[in-house]
Amino acid sequence: MPQTLEERMEALEKKVNELAAQQGGKKSWKETFGLSRDDPGFQEMAQLGQEYRYNLREHDNGAGS
């Protein structure tokens, strides 16, 4: 049986509310963006990642020679 627009909207709103409840207290990326900005451990991790990528590039540049 086809649903009316109102019934479809009610079902959609119910599903959205269910999904929001499943998320619980999880924050969106917009609420957590930048939280590690002043964290020394995060800074070290970023630096180590940068060094790793640099070393990969250096290694790949010599591979074709």
Q: Could you read off the pLDDT of 3-40 as tens digits, one per residue?
A: 899 999 999 999 998 888 887 767 777 888 888 888 99
pLDDT digits (tens, 9 = 90+) for 48-61: 999 999 999 988 87
d(CA 57, CA 49): 12
Angle at 25 between CA 23 and CA 28, to 5 degrees: 70
CA–CA gap between residue 2 and residue 22 (Å, rounded): 29
Using one digit for the tens of pLDDT, what is the confidence trace for 38-51?
Answer: 899 999 999 999 99
What was the pLDDT predicted at 65? 47
Distance, in Å, from the CA atom of 24 to the CA atom of 28, rounded to the nearest integer, reads 11
C-alpha of 40 from chain center: 21
Rounded CA separation 29/26 (Å): 9
